[in-house]
Structures are given as C-alpha cells and as structure tokens.
Amino acid sequence: MTTEVDTKHPIQIMDGLYQLRVPIPNNPLGWVLPYLIEGRDGWTLVDSGWNVPEAFDALEQQLNDAGVGFAKLKTLLVTHVHPDHYGLAGQVKERSGATIIIHQRERDLIRTRYKNPTQLLAQMGDWLIMHGVPKDSMDDLKTSAMPVRAFVDPVEPDEVVWGGEHINIGRFDFEVWWTPGHSPGHICFLERAKKFILTGDHVLPTITPNISLHVQQQGNPLGDYIASLKRLEDLEVDTVLPAHEYIFKDLRGRLQSIEQHHVERLIEMVECVGDGARTAFDVAGRVKWVTGTLATFTPWMQRAALGETLSHLDYLVLEDRLVKFMENGTQYYKKPGND
Ligand SMILES: [Zn+2]
Ligand SMILES: [Zn+2]
C-alpha cells in the first residue's frame, strides 16, 4: 500500500496490470485510481478522471510512462458516469479512438445529466421544494451540480453491458458485475481465477459512498446497494482494487462493516424523525454527518445529504418502519401510528 501521491508513474500490481493515480483538484477525495490492463492487441483503461488539464496531464504522463500512450489504448471501461470516473472519457475517445463501454443504466443518464439538463433542473426545483428545502436556498441547491458539468466531456458509449458478461483482456478474464446503489448502472470487474476485483466506488476501504435518492435515481437505491454488497460477500477474493483511497484485502469484512454502517444509520434516521412528522430536509438537518452539520455544508453537500437521507427514509417506508404522506405539496415522514 502506498499513500504518497505519485501522479507521474503508474504502480505495477502484477504482470499486465497497473494502477494509475489521477488528481481531483480541490476535492477531499484527492484522486481517482484508474487501472491499466494489457491486452493482446492493445490496452484497456478502467475509469479516467475529471476533465481538467491537471488530470488529463497526469493521465497522459502515466500512460506514456507505461509505454502505452493514447496510441495503444483500445478500450475504456467506465464503472459509472460520475465526473471523477467518466469526465475525461470524451478526451480519451478523441485521442485514442478507444471503444467506450458503460452499463446501459448509466448511458441513460448521460443525455439528461450532461448534455441537456434544462428539464432535469426544472424537475429538481420541484423536487427540492417537495422535500422541505426552504425557498430561499432552493436555487442554490438546484444549480449546485451544474459547475461539475464543466468537468465532464460527455461521450456516448460504443457498447453497453448489463452485467454477467465476460471481458477477456490478455491474460485476464473479467466478469462484469452490476452493482447498483451508488449509481444505477455501477459495475465492478471480477477476475475470479486471479482472485481480485475492481470495485469502482461500490466498495472503498474507509469511505462509504453516497447512496442517494433523487430525480434521476428513483425506486429503492439503498435496498439496491445493500443487495449489491451482499452479492459480493461469498466471492473468493484476495485483493480489492477500488477507485479511491488504496488497495485492500478483506473484501468480506469491509462489505459487512458498510452494511453495519447503514443498519446504524437507519436506526438514527428513525430517531431523527422522532414523534412528529418531518420532511427529509428537516431530518437531514438532525443527522450526525461525519463531515459536519447540514447548516455548514455547501449547497452541493446539502443536496448530497438530502439524497442520502431520502434513500434511507424510503427504505424505512418499504420496511414499514416509517410512513410517508403528502400535505400541501410537501412530503413528510413519521413513525407508523403517530398521528
Ligand atoms: Zn461515484
Ligand atoms: Zn468516485
């Protein structure tokens, strides 16, 4: 394990497999970890980085250092379309002509999120008001994700996957595992015989990824996420290669501690709802976030906290531990039987 930031030289993990380190400027995550895999007639990159010169330069330098460059890059696999993973996809495509492969459910997000967000913004405004965001901070929250769009150079995938496919790259045989929750079409890549897995943002060594319910992610994302964690529990894996932080070994232990985190957070959410009826924004203001209190958050963080709160509240509704109801256009949560 190395914690010092070397953005010039890739780290060799085994024959034909390298870890890259691409900085995410002004972001507490620090960097994203793309992986570079040697094939028989070209190389595959997993994830890329934000679309900023500093990240592009680091990516290019490391590709060159590995003797690959853009010229020998044949494929770009994208774990999910968040800016730190997908941001440079357009540039990678332009420079290398690589085939871009993304899960179907992520492809569906590209157009509304990155290409033509007008309708998404209108929906977002209504949605924020419905969940109790005060009118005077609504605009700030609504547009808080828009600056991030600048860090994405969107490009359509050449191929989509659904999960279950095998992708053969040189000496490796990767199984595509669909792991929705953090993003609807998030995928991991399992090398069963070599006992390692590329987990993207699905499983990180110390951070729990944001699991949000929002206008583009309806249904039960927390339920999806927990199911996606459980599905990996029986895998015989020695090494976990995540997209942030560092490589680690104990996949099963980490899966269980993330599940436990959500069990505790669900209990906390019920307590935060208390005996009254509360909006999701109200509940988010009572949750003890590791990074501070809702009032001190930037609009972007507030919205992430609201989405995270909602994924837990709706999960609790499906488990009959809470009920929700609408009143004058606002949605409230309360304990069953509390009238
Ligand atoms: Zn992500
Ligand atoms: Zn990420």
Residue 71 lies in a domain: yes
Ligand nearest to the CA of 30: 2
Q: What digits encode the pLDDT tens for the residues 104-119?
A: 999 988 987 887 778 8
Ligand nearest to the CA of 179: 1
Q: What digits encode the pLDDT tens for the residues 139-195?
A: 888 888 777 777 888 899 999 999 999 999 999 999 999 999 999 999 999 999 999
Spatial CA neighbour of 289 closest among 218, 298, 143, 230: 298
Residue 305 lies in a domain: no
Instruction: State residue 3's pLDDT score.
Output: 47
CATH number at residue 247: 3.60.15.10
Kindly give, in sequence order, each residue whose CB lies less than 8 Å from that of residue 332, ignoring residues fewer than 6 positions away: 277, 278, 279, 324, 325, 326
- Report yes or no: 289 and 268 within 8 Å, Cβ to Cβ: no
Which pLDDT band, with edges at 50, 70 and 90, does 121 fall under? Answer: confident
Ligand nearest to the CA of 242: 2
Ligand nearest to the CA of 32: 2
pLDDT beyond 70 at 103: yes
Mean pLDDT of 113-139: 87
What total number of domains does the chain contain? 1
In whole angstroms, what is the distance from residue 153 CA to residue 155 CA?
7
Q: How far is the CA of 24 from the centre of ligand 2 (A)?
A: 10
Q: How far is the CA of 213 from the centre of ligand 1 (A)?
A: 14
In whole angstroms, what is the distance from residue 135 CA to residue 224 CA?
32
Instruction: State residue 87's pLDDT score.
Output: 95
Instruction: State residue 138's pLDDT score.
Output: 85
Residue 101 lies in a domain: yes
Kindly give, in sequence order, each residue whose CB lies less than 8 Å from that of residue 24, ignoring residues fewer than 6 positions away: 30, 31, 32, 49, 50, 55, 84
pLDDT beyond 70 at 339: no
Q: What digits encode the pLDDT tens for the residues 201-260?
A: 999 999 999 999 988 888 999 999 999 999 999 999 999 999 999 999 999 999 999 999
Residue 222 lies in a domain: yes
In whole angstroms, what is the distance from residue 96 CA to residue 75 CA?
9
Instruction: State residue 4's pLDDT score.
Output: 55
Residue 229 lies in a domain: yes
Residue 326 lies in a domain: no
Instruction: State residue 5's pLDDT score.
Output: 65
Q: How far is the CA of 83 from the centre of ligand 2 (A)?
A: 8
Ligand nearest to the CA of 47: 2
pLDDT beyond 90 at 42: yes
Question: In this prediction, what percent of the chain has a pLDDT beyond 70?
Answer: 98
Residue 138 lies in a domain: no
Ligand nearest to the CA of 106: 1
Q: How far is the CA of 82 from the centre of ligand 2 (A)?
A: 7
In whole angstroms, what is the distance from residue 62 CA to residue 129 CA?
45
Residue 318 lies in a domain: no
Q: How far is the CA of 38 from the centre of ligand 2 (A)?
A: 23
Query: H-type helices in 39-131, by residue range?
Result: 53-65, 83-86, 89-96, 104-110, 118-130
User: The tokens of 68 are what?
Assistant: 């690959």
Instruction: State residue 1's pLDDT score.
Output: 43
Domain around 70: 11-112+148-258
Q: How far is the CA of 327 from the centre of ligand 1 (A)?
A: 34
Residue 188 bridge partners (DSSP): 177
